Amino acid sequence: MSATGAPAQQITGSNRFMLLILLVPGLLALMTTFLLPMIWLARASFSTSSMAAFGGGMTLEHYHAALTDPFYWKVAMNTLSLGVTVSFFAVILSYPIALFLTRSTSRWRGVLTALAVAPLLTSAVVRTYGWMVILGDRGVINGTLQALSLTTDPVRLSNNTFGATVALVEILMPYSILAMLAGFGRLNPQLEEAASMLGASKLRVFWRIILPLSLPGILTGALLVFVLAISAFVTPRLMGGGRVFVLGTEVFQEATVTLNWPLAAALSVVLLALFSSVIVIYQRALRRLEA
């Protein structure tokens, strides 16, 4: 809590040169793996050739098609609402876990943290299949319900938005837990002690101290999950039984089935724009929160 930090490092001329040299490989890698494909994507979205070939003319027709079609607006709304729902539940479920892990003084803490993020070791596809087994018509839950004679016909738990949401929440929870663990730096048991010494009950310590101090971590976790959720397409496709239309699945459809690459590119750019605006708004809010 002490206000004194390390003195700011002075970056001198030769230092800066060294810095540049050190950054070159990273920048190059970023260029070739991120920036160039992005540029290509942006260019493809204006292409007049249906194969999005370079050269040739430019057209806004694909944006026109994407933005004037009410179906895509609905898909965009679906995407946003899926993103919001998934981040909401992922955050609600991750928060107690991350809080527990941060505050725990147990010597098992490291092991527990590793366990909490261990699902990242398996691919999202594998975990999606896992959820299909659990939520399917003949899955674990329906099997149990029927064995207990609570239901006769299977309850539709997968192949719909519900299933996609459940699977996405679970698949993305490790990310929000990690983001929260990283973002809970300002939490400090002594602050909680100070608050209770000043007369705050456990509940008020939570509302007035723990929650506000962990809010940046929560918001970072939510943002990360949101971005991953609105760009997801494998899980919504498989768990949604084809019924969940989000921008990710639409891009996939246009790119691999109807082979309208410029339209797929335009939809990707729309998705990117959606991302970027959410991130910008978010960071503004976050900065205000921390100011």
> Could you say which residues in the range 137-176 bind other proteins, by CB under 8 A?
137-138, 153-154, 156, 159
Q: How far apart are CA 171 and CA 231, in angstroms?
A: 13
Q: Which of 80, 145, 255, 278 binds other proteins (CB under 8 A)?
A: 255
> Could you say which residues in the range 58-117 bind other proteins, by CB under 8 A?
71
Number of residues lying near other proteins (CB under 8 A):
51
- In the complex with other proteins, the residue whose CB is nearer, 129 or 162, is 129
Q: E strands along 170-210, which residues? A: none
Binding piece for other proteins, criterion CB under 8 A, among 27-35, 80-88, 165-173, 207-215: 207-215
Query: Is residue 212 within 8 Å of 179, Cβ to Cβ?
Result: no
Q: Which of 63, 88, 129, 275 binds other proteins (CB under 8 A)?
A: 129
Polymer length in residues for the chain: 291
Provide the minimum distance between the beta carbon of 291 and other proteins in the complex, in angstroms, as a whole number.
9
Provide the minimum distance between the beta carbon of 162 and other proteins in the complex, in angstroms, as a whole number.
14
Q: Which residues pair with 47 in a beta bridge?
A: 58
Longest dimension (CA), the chain: 77
- In the complex with other proteins, the residue whose CB is nearer, 113 or 128, is 128
DSSP string for 36-89: HHHHHHHHHTTBSSTT--SSS-B-SHHHHHHHH-HHHHHHHHHHHHHHHHHHHH
DSSP 109: H
Provide the minimum distance between the beta carbon of 62 and other proteins in the complex, in angstroms, as a whole number.
13
Q: Which of 45, 87, 161, 260 binds other proteins (CB under 8 A)?
A: 260
> Could you say which residues in the range 210-239 bind other proteins, by CB under 8 A?
212-213, 237-238
Q: Which of 119, 136, 174, 248 binds other proteins (CB under 8 A)?
A: 136
Q: What torsion do the CA atoms of 238, 242, 245, 248 make, to the nearest 10 degrees? A: 40
Q: Does 256 bind other proteins (CB under 8 A)?
A: yes
The two three-digit tokens of residue 94, written as one number: 């991750």
Q: How far apart are CA 171 and CA 158, in angstroms?
A: 15
Q: Does 195 bind other proteins (CB under 8 A)?
A: yes
Q: Which phi and psi (to 5°) does residue 58 adopt?
A: -115, 145
Query: Is residue 221 within 8 Å of 239, Cβ to Cβ?
Result: no
Q: How far apart are CA 279 and CA 242, in angstroms?
A: 28
Provide the minimum distance between the beta carbon of 48 and other proteins in the complex, in angstroms, as a whole number.
12
Q: Does 37 bind other proteins (CB under 8 A)?
A: no
Q: Which of 18, 28, 193, 283 binds other proteins (CB under 8 A)?
A: 193
Q: How far apart are CA 158 and CA 18, in angstroms?
A: 55
Q: Does 198 bind other proteins (CB under 8 A)?
A: yes
Using DSSP, state whether 258 is helix, strand or coil: coil
Q: Does 197 bind other proteins (CB under 8 A)?
A: yes
Q: Does 51 bind other proteins (CB under 8 A)?
A: yes
Interface with other proteins (CB under 8 A):
1-4, 49-51, 53, 71, 128-129, 132, 136-138, 153-154, 156, 159, 186, 188, 190-191, 193-201, 204, 208-209, 212-213, 237-238, 240-243, 245, 253, 255-260
